[in-house]
């Protein structure tokens, strides 16, 4: 997949809301998901997407400590913008083509809002 420029990222081990877990359990979700993916893919995994878009400063710290370079959020709070709160648009299996198209439009709007341009 690498030759097609497809990037794999982590979304945790068991898709739990990391902000609700005890610290050690949240750390395992983040750390082991990265090491497992790296082992299977035989390449570095740099990106993490918070399950349910649930993140806080503790979870961000865990993600950074695990070696990820960036984290993706679906619920960006305007007061927090960093490589670990990069905005993304969630696309789901139940989204039909019209919704997919709408989300792409909203995504462009977000891109323009946060970066000052859209591609």
C-beta closer to Zn ion: residue 51 or 71:
51
Minimum Å distance from CB 112 to Zn ion? 26
Q: What sign results for the dihedral spanned by CA atoms 15, 46, 113, 19?
A: positive
Residues 50, 21: Cα–Cα separation, whole Å: 13
Residue whose structure tokens are 């323009």:
112
- Smallest gap from Cβ 91 to Zn ion, in A, equals 11
Exposure string for 74-86, b = 16+ CB within 10 A, e = fewer? eebeeeeeeebbe
Ranked by CB distance to Zn ion, the top (closest) residue is: 51
Q: Compute the least distance from the CB of residue 52 to Zn ion, in Å.
A: 7
Where in 35-54 is the site for Zn ion (CB under 5 A)?
51
Number of residues that bind Zn ion (CB under 5 A): 1
């Amino acid at each position: 997949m690498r030759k097609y420029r497809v990037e794999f990222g982590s979304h945790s081990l068991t898709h739990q809301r990391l902000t609700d877990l005890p610290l050690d359990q949240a750390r395992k979700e983040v750390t082991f998901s990265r090491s497992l993916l790296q082992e299977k893919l035989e390449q570095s995994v740099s990106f993490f997407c918070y399950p349910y878009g649930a993140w806080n400063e503790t979870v961000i710290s865990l993600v950074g400590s695990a070696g990820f370079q960036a984290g993706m959020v679906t619920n960006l709070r305007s007061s927090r913008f960093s490589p670990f709160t990069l905005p993304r648009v969630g696309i789901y299996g139940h989204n039909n083509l019209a919704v997919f198209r709408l989300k792409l439009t909203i995504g462009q709007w977000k891109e323009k809002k946060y970066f000052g341009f859209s591609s």
